[in-house]
Amino acid sequence: MPSKPSNDVLQAKDIDLTTVDILTVTINEMNNPSLERELVDAGLAEYVNESEDN
């Protein structure tokens, strides 16, 4: 049965981070370009322009 990743807030009380947030931040913090490229190539992630975030 499909789960709902975007709304999947961690069960720990008061942690308002979704699993997707955790995964995204962790992979970005790893600073591993080849891993990022592999995920993007597999259609599991997309590059984000930093200036757009700001």
- In the complex, minimum distance from the CB of residue 27 to other proteins, in angstroms, rounded to a whole number: 7
Say whether residue 54 binds other proteins (CB under 8 A).
no
Could you give the 3-state DSSP secondary structure of residue 6? helix
Min. distance of Cβ 23 from other proteins in angstroms? 5
Q: How far apart are CA 40 and CA 53, in angstroms?
A: 19
> 3-state class of 2 per DSSP?
coil
The residue to which tokens 């975007």 are assigned: 6
Residue ranges that bind other proteins, judged by CB under 8 A: 1-6, 8-15, 17, 19-20, 22-30, 32, 35-36, 38-40, 42-50, 53
